Amino acid sequence: MRALVLTGPGKAEVQEVEPPAAAPGEVVVDVERVGVCGTDVELFTGEMSYLRTGRSWYPLRPGHEWCGRVSAAGAGVDPSWLGRAVTADTMLACGRCDRCRSGRHHVCADLAEIGISLGRPGALAERLAVPVTALHPLPATMDPALGALVEPGGNALRAARAAGLAAGERLLVLGTGTIGLLTALFARAAGAEVHLMGRDEAGLRLAAGLGFEHAWTRATLPASRWDAVVDASNAAELPALALELVEPARRVVYIGLAGGPSALDTRDLVLKDVTAVGILGGSAGMAEAIAAFADGSVDARPLVAATVGLADAAAVLAGHRPPAAGPGPKIHIDPRR
């Protein structure tokens, strides 16, 4: 089968590789759609910290935001999975340790991540093997664009929930990329008054097109009461700004990652009695994200700018946008093309 293989920093090519077999407890999925994520880009460029710590290495097959249909089932797998539309949790844990048993499998010490770490092949391929325990069923009629947005959607839903807002309270989201906009969509669906701050005019226009009336730059951001602030940016200075802006005794949520360390004065955190929450992974939010996409309360499809074939994946990782791409921040790959 064809698969995208990262062979070194800045090097990627479509290769013919051995197709996966369904081992006991696993299924094979025919992949229909894959989202390109910032993590994939960092693995391609060589900037991903896992490449320095030894959790990831080349050659590497990326892709962890995906959907497809089950085409084969291994021993011990219920055959009713065959033919079903699915996505899956990226985080594959041991299932035995205290963290796993207490519902924190996404921080298991022996965690392997699909398309990211410990050599687990990713979804930028025609087929993918996945443990059945990681699967999430999708409605048969769900648009593959939404199916491939479930994993980032789970992350964003967790961030929106972590803000701890009641209906009508005001949320400020810093960043108008995929996670920022998804967080805004989930928070709005829950009844929050959502404001966004960005630096990219295209992102601000897209936010307005999604029905967000309050989209600002740093220069135009009003001096309002912010009941919670979510930092979904990659700017090293914005974690401190989030803490500065949030109402005392409320919450800041950190889901974005900068390329370098961010400075945060814990004296400000303590003296404002603010709760700071970090969000890693969509595991605990994926089922609810699927439900929100399925019932139409959140429509994230406008975030997808274009869908291209596997042969174009390397160019996308290198930062090239397809010529006919729309305004959305997300590029999808159809490995069948």
In a domain, 285, yes or no: no
Could you please report the per-residue DSSP string of 181-226? HHHHHHHHHTT-EEEEE-S-HHHHHHHHHTT-S-EE-TTT-----E
The neighbouring-strand residues paired with 30 are 69, 127
Q: What is the pLDDT of residue 259?
A: 85
Please state, in angstroms and as integers, the Cα–Cα distance from residue 30 to each residue in 2, 67, 106, 305, 309, following that order. Answer: 12, 9, 25, 23, 15
pTM, entire model: 0.96
- Cα 263 to Cα 67, 88, 131, 242: the distances in Å are 37, 35, 39, 12
**Domain of residue 88, CATH code:** 3.90.180.10
Q: In angstroms, how far is the first alpha carbon of the chain from the final one?
A: 12
Residue 295: inside a domain: no
State whether 157 and 132 are in the same domain. Answer: no
Question: Within this chain, do residues 122 and 220 fall inside the same structural domain, yes or no?
Answer: no
Q: Where are the beta strands (DSSP E) in the chain?
A: 2-8, 11-16, 26-35, 65-73, 85-88, 91-92, 112-113, 127-131, 135-137, 170-174, 193-197, 215-216, 226-231, 246-254, 275-278, 304-309, 330-334
Task: Round the CA-based radius of gyration of the chain to a whole number and report it.
Answer: 20
Shared domain for 11 and 95, answered yes or no, is yes
Q: Which residues constitute the domain of residue 117?
A: 2-149+300-334
Q: 78 with 167, same domain? A: no
Quote the pLDDT of residue 245. 98
Q: Within a domain: residue 293? A: no
Residues 216, 126 share a domain: no
Domain co-membership, 104 together with 215: no
In a domain, 58, yes or no: yes
pLDDT at 277: 98
Q: Is residue 175 part of a domain?
A: yes
Task: Quick: pLDDT tens for 153-212.
Answer: 999 999 999 999 999 999 999 999 999 999 999 999 999 999 999 998 889 999 999 999
- CB contact at 8 A, 114 and 130: yes
In this structure, the answer to whether residues 140 and 169 fall within a common structural domain is no
For the segment 44-58, what is each residue's pLDDT rounded down to a tens digit?
999 999 999 999 999
CA dihedral 288, 254, 118, 283 (to 10 degrees): -10
Q: 241 and 267, same structural domain?
A: yes
Q: Is 257 found in the same domain as 224?
A: yes
Same domain? 160 vs 48 = no
pLDDT one-digit tens code per residue, 24-79: 999 999 999 999 999 999 999 999 999 999 999 999 999 999 999 999 999 999 99
237 domain-assigned:
yes
CATH code of residue 196: 3.40.50.720
Q: How many domains does the chain have?
A: 2
In a domain? residue 32: yes
Whole-number pLDDT of residue 105: 96
The CA angle 34-14-136, to the nearest 5 degrees, is 25
Q: Are residues 330 and 213 in the same domain?
A: no
For residue 301, count other CB atoms closer than 10 A to its CB: 12
Digit-coded pLDDT (tens) for 201-260: 889 999 999 999 999 999 999 999 999 999 999 999 999 999 999 999 999 999 999 988
Helix (H, G, I), strand (E, B) or coil at 101: helix
Percentage of the chain with pLDDT > 90?
97
277-280 long-range Cβ contacts below 8 angstroms, 24+ apart: 277/162, 277/251, 277/252, 277/253, 278/253, 278/254, 279/155, 279/158, 279/159, 279/162, 279/253, 279/254, 279/255, 280/106, 280/107
Q: Is residue 239 part of a domain?
A: yes
Same domain for 145 and 171, yes or no, is: no
